[in-house]
């Protein structure tokens, strides 16, 4: 179906609400993919939509969609996929796809490039902080205009953690459903085992702290399927996977709420080192331990400097001639 076919069907559905269908409502979900530049976000989206295209570099904020039917002869549900390009350089664009009208059905997929551990914490922190601030602003407005929806979203944040979970008082769930995917596993797998352990444990802690699902994926088909299962669960309501893999020497797969601080263990540093670090929260302590091993890159190093107007994939002869004339 083209976008026009969907638009026509949508109008017909509104004009004939009785219709001759079986009364099954079509659901619409939205997801925002963000993370390191060249981290593999486009590849994951294409795999989820069963498209065999060669991924192109993402320019700013890109959009695509997928449709799936839960069963034969059922109407197809729609999933909107947004992708933020440029790493952390275009943070202000996050507010475009997430709005008060779709926030109930929105989820975030954070793709972190494991081959660049020195960028990992900065990228993760910047993207999640800006997203959280924007979502909190929407929730503040909704508390005045539609308090029921605001309450529902706030309660849903805790859905993945049972009240009797030992860490219930120690975590701070993200306001939207969150999946964290570690990409470039083939390069990461060549790292020293101690470095791999620090990165894996840190990602487990961050995911658990934010109530997120974690996939540290390998290029293997089996593990790509795991990532697809999680994303399709958010996008199309398909069944969740109940399997868990927490072995640091292998790819990780931990659905939200199925880990614990006890299983993760303390930050990977000696007691004397931890004693010297001043931190107000567990998250801050893990950050300091992680950045001791992997000092962060300067944020200006992560800025997006390429001019998209010079990108050949967007060449348009008439426009380019006019632009050259104007520059002259």
Question: Domain containing 184 — which CATH number?
Answer: 3.40.50.300
Domain contains 317: no
What's 86's DSSP letter? S
Domain contains 129: yes
CA quadruple 8, 14, 18, 22: dihedral sign: positive
- pLDDT band (50, 70, 90) for residue 206: very high
Domain contains 66: yes
Domain contains 6: no
Structure tokens that stand for 75 in this block? 């109407």
**What is the end-to-end Cα distance of the chain in Å, rounded?**
44
Coil, strand or helix: which one is 114? Answer: coil
Domain contains 15: no
Instruction: Supply the range of the domain harboring residue 202.
Output: 24-297
Domain contains 319: no
Mean of pLDDT values over 15-40: 70
Supply the mean pLDDT for the chain: 80
Please report the DSSP string for 277-294 in residue order.
---SSHHHHHHHHHHHHS
For residue range 250-299, list pLDDT tens digits in order.
Answer: 778 888 888 888 888 888 776 666 666 777 788 888 888 888 888 887 65
Q: The whole model's pTM is what?
A: 0.77
| Count: domains in the chain | 1
Kindly report which listed range (72-76, 95-99, 129-133) carries the lowest average pLDDT score: 72-76
- pLDDT band (50, 70, 90) for residue 228: low
Domain contains 39: yes
Domain contains 282: yes
């Amino acid at each position: 179906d083209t976008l026009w076919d969907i638009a026509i069907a949508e109008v017909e559905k509104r004009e004939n609400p009785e219709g001759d269908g079986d009364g099954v409502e079509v659901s619409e979900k939205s997801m925002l993919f963000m993370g390191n530049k060249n981290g593999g976000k486009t590849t994951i989206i294409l795999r989820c939509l069963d498209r065999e295209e060669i991924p192109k570099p993402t320019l700013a904020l890109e959009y695509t969609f997928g449709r799936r039917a839960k069963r034969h002869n059922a109407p197809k549900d729609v999933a909107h996929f947004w992708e933020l390009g440029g790493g952390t350089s275009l943070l202000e664009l996050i507010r475009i796809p997430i709005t008060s009208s779709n926030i109930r059905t929105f989820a975030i997929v954070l793709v972190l490039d494991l081959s660049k551990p020195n960028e990992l914490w900065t990228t993760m922190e910047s993207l999640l902080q800006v997203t959280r601030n924007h979502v909190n602003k929407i929730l503040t407005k909704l508390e005045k205009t539609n308090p029921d929806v605001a309450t529902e979203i706030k309660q849903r944040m805790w859905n993945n953690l049972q009240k009797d979970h030992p860490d219930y008082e120690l975590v701070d769930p993200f306001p939207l459903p969150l999946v964290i995917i570690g990409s470039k596993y083939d390069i990461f797998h060549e790292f020293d085992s101690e470095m791999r352990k620090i990165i894996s444990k840190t990602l487990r802690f961050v995911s658990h702290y934010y109530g997120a699902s974690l996939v540290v994926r390998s290029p293997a088909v089996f593990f790509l399927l795991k990532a697809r299962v999680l994303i399709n669960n958010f996008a199309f309501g398909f069944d969740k996977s109940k399997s868990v893999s927490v072995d640091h020497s292998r790819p990780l797969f931990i659905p939200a709420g199925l880990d614990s601080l006890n299983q993760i263990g303390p930050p990977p540093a000696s007691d004397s080192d931890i004693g010297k670090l001043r931190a107000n929260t567990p998250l801050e302590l893990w950050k300091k331990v992680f950045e001791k091993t992997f000092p962060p890159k300067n944020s200006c190093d992560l800025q997006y400097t390429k001019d998209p107007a010079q990108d050949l994939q967007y060449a348009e002869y008439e426009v380019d001639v006019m632009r050259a004339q104007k520059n002259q």
